[in-house]
Structure 1
Amino acid sequence: MLGRAANGVYWMSRYLERAENTARLIDVGFHLALTRGSRQSQDEEWKSVLITTGQLESYCALHNTFTGPQVFNFLLREKSNPASVLSMVENARTNARLVRTSLTNAVWETTNEGWMCLRDLLSRPVRETSLGEVLMQIRRTGTLVRGALEGTMLRNEVFNFSRIGTFIERADSTARILDVKYYVLLPSAAWVGSSLDNVQWDTLLRSVAGNRAYSWLNAGAMDPRGIARFLILDEQFPRSLVFCYEKIGSNMAGLAKEYGREGPAHALLRDSRAKLHQTTIDTIFDAGLHEFLQEFIGKTVELSSAIAADYRFIE
Structure 2
Amino acid sequence: MLSRTADHLFWMARYTERAENTARMLDVNYQTSLLPQSSEATEQGWRGLLSISELTHDYHRLHDSLNPHDVMEFMVCDESNPSSIHSCLRAARENARAVRGTLTTEVWETANTTWLEFKRLIANGSFRRDPADFFEWVKFRSHLSRGVTLGTMLQDESFHFLRIGTFLERADNTARLLDVKFHGAQSEFFGVREQREPVEVDFYYWSAILRSVSGFEVYRKVYRNVIRPEKVAELLILRPDMPRSLAACMDEVVGNLKMVANEQSGETLRRAGRLRADLSFGRIDEILATGLHAFLTQFLDRVGDLGIGISRDFLVPV
Instruction: Please indicate the TM-score interval, normalised by the length of the shorter structure.
Output: over 0.9
How far 1:78 moved relative to its partner?
A: 1.3
How far 1:192 moved relative to its partner?
A: 3.7
Equivalent AA in structure 2 for residue 79 of structure 1: E
Equivalent AA in structure 1 for residue 251 of structure 2: E
Cα distance between partner residues in 1 of 2:69 and 2:5: 38
Write the deviation string for residues 72-124 of structure 1: whole angstroms up to 9, x where unpaired: 01100013222211111000000000111110000000010001000111236
Equivalent AA in structure 2 for residue 199 of structure 1: Y
The equivalent of 1:212 in structure 2 is 217
Cα distance between partner residues in 2 of 1:54 and 1:260: 35
Write the deviation string for residues 19-58 of structure 1: whole angstroms up to 9, x where unpaired: 0000011111111111142223222211111111221110
Cα distance between partner residues in 2 of 1:134 and 1:249: 33
Cα distance between partner residues in 2 of 1:189 and 1:155: 49
Contact 2:48 / 2:184 at 8 angstroms: preserved in 1? Answer: no
The equivalent of 2:181 in structure 1 is 181
- Identify which range, 264-273 or 188-197, moves more after superposition: 188-197
Give SS of 1:249's match: helix
Q: How does 1:148-227 map to 2 (within 5 A)?
A: 148-186=148-186, 187-190=190-193, 192-227=197-232
Cα distance between partner residues in 2 of 1:254 and 1:131: 40
Change (3 A) 1:67 1:156: same
How far 1:127 moved relative to its partner?
A: 6.0
Contact 1:163 / 1:251 at 8 angstroms: preserved in 2? Answer: yes
Please list every run of at least 4 consecutive aligned residues from structure 1 whose deviation after the TM superposition is greater than 4 angstroms.
124-128, 259-262
Equivalent AA in structure 1 for residue 223 of structure 2: N
Cα distance between partner residues in 2 of 1:224 and 1:126: 35
The equivalent of 2:287 in structure 1 is 284
Percent of matched pairs sharing the same residue: 35
How far 1:274 moved relative to its partner?
A: 1.8
The equivalent of 1:145 in structure 2 is 145
The equivalent of 1:35 in structure 2 is 35
Contact 2:168 / 2:253 at 8 angstroms: preserved in 1? Answer: yes
How far 1:279 moved relative to its partner?
A: 1.8
Cα distance between partner residues in 2 of 1:51 and 1:314: 28
Equivalent AA in structure 1 for residue 42 of structure 2: Q
Q: How does 1:1-315 map to 2 (within 5 A)?
A: 1-123=1-123, 128-186=128-186, 187-190=190-193, 192-256=197-261, 259=262, 262-314=265-317
How far 1:135 moved relative to its partner?
A: 1.1
Equivalent AA in structure 2 for residue 201 of structure 1: W
Change (3 A) 1:287 1:6: same
Change (3 A) 1:144 1:189: closer
Give SS of 1:182's match: helix
Cα distance between partner residues in 2 of 1:281 and 1:196: 24
RMSD: 1.8
How far 1:168 moved relative to its partner?
A: 0.2
How far 1:280 moved relative to its partner?
A: 0.9
Change (3 A) 1:69 1:83: same
Cα distance between partner residues in 1 of 2:155 and 2:80: 38
> TM-score w.r.t. structure 2 length?
0.94
How far 1:263 moved relative to its partner?
A: 2.7
- Size of the aligned set, in residue pairs, is 313
Structure 1 segments unaligned to the other structure (5+ residues): none
> TM-score w.r.t. structure 1 length?
0.94
Cα distance between partner residues in 1 of 2:266 and 2:100: 27
Contact 1:76 / 1:122 at 8 angstroms: preserved in 2? Answer: no
Contact 1:242 / 1:276 at 8 angstroms: preserved in 2? Answer: yes
Contact 2:174 / 2:236 at 8 angstroms: preserved in 1? Answer: yes
Cα distance between partner residues in 1 of 2:183 and 2:164: 30
Write the deviation string for residues 276-299 of structure 1: whole angstroms up to 9, x where unpaired: 222211211121111110000000
- Identify which range, 202-211 or 32-41, moves more after superposition: 32-41
